[in-house]
Structure 1
Amino acid sequence: MLDKQQTWIEKYRAALLETNPTRQLERIEEAYSAIQGHAEESRAQRFEKEALDDARLILRLLREESLGRASSPWL
């Protein structure tokens, strides 16, 4: 379980730190998928569920900003 948690966190960080706009969108997709997979498979405590929800929200906002538009299929 720890490996999967580390995986989504690493992918999330990579998405946040990516400076290349094209690559950032790819990293956002990868991170979002990893978070979704972890959320579905884990028996997360309340604080971890909140962290996953927060990460998904930040990725949505980052994706919107990267695309330069206000709507997203994830919202």
Structure 2
Amino acid sequence: MQKYVVRLKVKEFLEAQDRKNIATEKELASKMKIAPSQLWRAKLPVEDENYNSPGNQFIAGVLKVFGGNFQDYFYIDEISLRR
């Protein structure tokens, strides 16, 4: 079975953080109105057991803090679900 998920473009995300002069993960998480752990998990490699796909609040926070379009920071990935 196939499923679509949202993935973070980590390089573009980090570049936007740098452009906005947001020095710490804690500061960025606060601006995005999410927990720092949520930010950390979304930036991990997909294969990491601690990885989480970005959720609604994460996506909204990125667009609010950095501006731009969804496609600037995210992409859609198709995955296979194991049975």
Q: With structure 2 as the length reference, what TM-score do the two structures score?
A: 0.31
Larger proportion of helix: 1
Larger proportion of strand: 2
Structure with higher Rg: it is 2
Q: With structure 1 as the length reference, what TM-score do the two structures score?
A: 0.33
